[in-house]
């Protein structure tokens, strides 16, 4: 009598996960919060109050911002740290290891360093700064592997980046407000009118005809 061997079915039964922009956009719960640059830190703190035990990645453009946010969140009793190019590779790996085992909940980093870190169980990605390239925004969401939440703080200076991101993903991101947040004023040096969002969807671009292009 011949022996029968069991054939593993895990690989065939598991649904394939796709990482193209459209697939990531559809499976990720996303929201945007319009805020002036100088109010971002205050809004971020309020947003994260419900995520103190969640594995969170905050993506910024500069090392200075990463350090400042890390100091603020640590003072507010978040288990947070900044990880950027000024840190040695061993320090970066140590932070990733602590994040993966749950002793560290929040990592603040840049797009460049995020690509080099092996991070697991990310549940929330906060785009503190929007990237100049739409692809980078999609890459941030893709670090969550499957289901997760994406939030973005959008300053007036970054609204053109938001337009490009939404256009490339063919998806307009839901706009939300933060309960308890109060915007503060700063002296303004321009009388530029506020952008009117009621005229058309943010991601819709004006098509240029051949005659206009000539």
Give per-residue pLDDT as tens, 11-24.
444 578 887 888 88
List CB contacts of 6: < 8 A, sequence separation 6 or more: none
Q: Name 4's Cβ contacts closer than 8 Å, sequence gap at least 6.
A: none
Assess whether pLDDT exceeds 60 at residue 213: no
For residue 212, what pLDDT is reported?
Answer: 44
Classify residue 160 as exposed, middle or buried by CB count within 10 Å of its CB (0-12, 13-18, 19+). Answer: exposed
By DSSP bridging, strand 148-154 and strand 124-127 are parallel
**45 domain residue, yes or no:** yes
The residue range of the domain holding 39 is 35-181
3-state secondary structure of 126: strand
In a domain, 106, yes or no: yes
| pLDDT confidence bin for 93, thresholds 50/70/90 | very high
Contact between residue 126 and residue 44 where contact means Cβ atoms under 8 Å apart: yes
In a domain, 29, yes or no: no
pLDDT value, residue 205: 47
Query: Residue 57's beta-bridge partner residues?
Result: 107, 125
**Residue 194 DSSP one-character state:** P
Report which of residues 64 and 208 the model is more confident about: 64
Mean pLDDT of the chain, nearest integer: 85
pLDDT one-digit tens code per residue, 58-68 = 999 999 999 99
- Domain of 162, CATH number, reads 3.40.50.300
> Quick one: pLDDT band at residue 187, thresholds 50, 70, 90?
low
User: Is 149 strand, coil or helix?
Assistant: strand
The domain total for the chain is 1
| pLDDT for 209 beyond 80 | no
Asked whether the predicted pLDDT for residue 192 surpasses 70, the reply is: no
Residue 7 — pLDDT band, cuts 50, 70, 90? very low
**What's the confidence (pLDDT) of residue 1?**
47
Total-model pTM: 0.81
Other residues' Cβ atoms within 10 Å of the Cβ of residue 191: 5
Q: Find the helix or strand (DSSP H, E) in which 197 lies.
A: none
27 lies in some domain? no
């Amino acid at each position: 009598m011949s022996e029968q061997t069991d054939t593993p079915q895990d690989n065939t039964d598991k649904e394939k996960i796709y990482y193209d922009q459209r697939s990531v956009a559809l499976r990720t719960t996303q929201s945007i919060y319009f805020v002036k640059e100088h109010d971002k830190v205050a809004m971020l703190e309020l947003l994260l109050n419900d995520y103190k035990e969640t594995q969170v990645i905050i993506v910024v453009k500069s090392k200075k911002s990463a350090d400042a946010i890390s100091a603020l969140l640590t003072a507010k009793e978040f288990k947070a740290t900044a990880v950027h190019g000024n840190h040695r590779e061993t320090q970066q790996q140590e932070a990733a290891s602590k994040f993966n085992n749950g002793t560290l909940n929040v990592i603040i980093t840049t797009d460049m360093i995020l690509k080099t870190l092996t991070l697991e169980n990310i549940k929330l990605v906060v785009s503190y700064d929007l990237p100049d390239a739409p692809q980078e925004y999609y890459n941030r969401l893709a670090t969550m592997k499957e289901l997760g939440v994406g939030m973005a703080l959008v300053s007036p200076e970054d609204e053109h980046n938001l337009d490009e991101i939404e256009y490339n993903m063919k998806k307009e991101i839901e706009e939300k407000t933060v309960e308890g947040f109060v915007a503060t004023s700063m002296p303004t040096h321009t009388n530029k009118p506020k952008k009117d969002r009621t005229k058309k969807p943010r991601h819709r671009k004006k098509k240029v005809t051949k005659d206009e292009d000539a």
